[in-house]
């Protein structure tokens, strides 16, 4: 049986909550969530049955710290997001958006092998991304290049894009 572990880390957005799934054999935890204060539809505090274990999530903390410092452009972590097959497919496609680049929701649909007509469903999946920052949903823009939606707030989306030196349409 696996255990959900958690830790907190300081970031430019405030205290992040990270959770992961540690396998029964005690191996490294796979990152399940990264949330920021005030994020829509996300836990701000750990669930009662989660176990505080900073060591189990030391690598995600180190990689996020390096990202915020501008020393890391990709993440190399075991991931364990919880979602439907469609959402997991969209979330995996987020990984294909290069650092400093942006795509539209319809382009993301194409990357995920979904119909361009599925833009609303794609938007829903992006909005439900449990691995904020690590799975770069901030790199997805509206069809006209607008900074549409971001569960952590549009100001934070702009900050992340500025950090990456990305260009908007």
* Radius of gyration of the CA atoms of the chain, in A: 16
Q: Which residues pair with 3 in a beta bridge?
A: 22
Which sign, positive or negative, has the C-alpha torsion 104, 15, 164, 85? negative
Residue 144 CA to residue 127 CA, distance in Å, equals: 18
Burial class, 119, CB count within 10 angstroms (exposed 0-12 / middle 13-18 / buried 19+) = middle
Question: What three-state secondary structure class fits 73?
Answer: coil
| Catalytic (active site) residue 137 | yes
Q: Of the residues 32, 94, 137, 152, which is catalytic?
A: 137
Q: Which of 106, 118, 112, 105 is nearest to 88 (CA)?
A: 112
Contacting residues for 62 by C-beta, under 8 A, at least 6 apart: none
Q: Scanning the structure block, which residue is given the tokens 């390096």?
A: 66
Q: How far apart are CA 117 and CA 95, in angstroms?
A: 21
Catalytic annotation, residues: 137
């Amino acid at each position: 049986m696996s255990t959900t572990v958690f830790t907190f880390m300081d970031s430019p957005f405030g205290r992040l909550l990270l959770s992961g799934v540690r396998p029964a054999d005690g191996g490294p935890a796979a990152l399940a969530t990264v949330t920021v204060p005030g994020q829509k539809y996300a836990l701000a505090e750990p669930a009662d049955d989660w176990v505080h274990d900073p060591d189990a999530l030391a690598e995600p903390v180190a990689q996020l710290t390096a990202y915020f410092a501008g020393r890391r452009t990709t993440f190399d972590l075991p991931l364990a997001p919880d979602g439907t097959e469609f959402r997991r497919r969209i979330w995996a496609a987020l990984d294909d958006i290069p650092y400093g680049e942006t795509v539209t929701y319809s382009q993301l649909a194409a990357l995920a092998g979904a119909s361009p007509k599925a833009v609303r469903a794609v938007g829903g999946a992006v909005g439900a991304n449990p691995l904020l920052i690590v799975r770069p949903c901030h790199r997805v823009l509206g069809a006209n290049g607008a900074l549409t939606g971001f569960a952590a707030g549009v100001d934070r989306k702009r900050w992340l894009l500025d950090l990456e030196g990305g260009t908007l349409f």
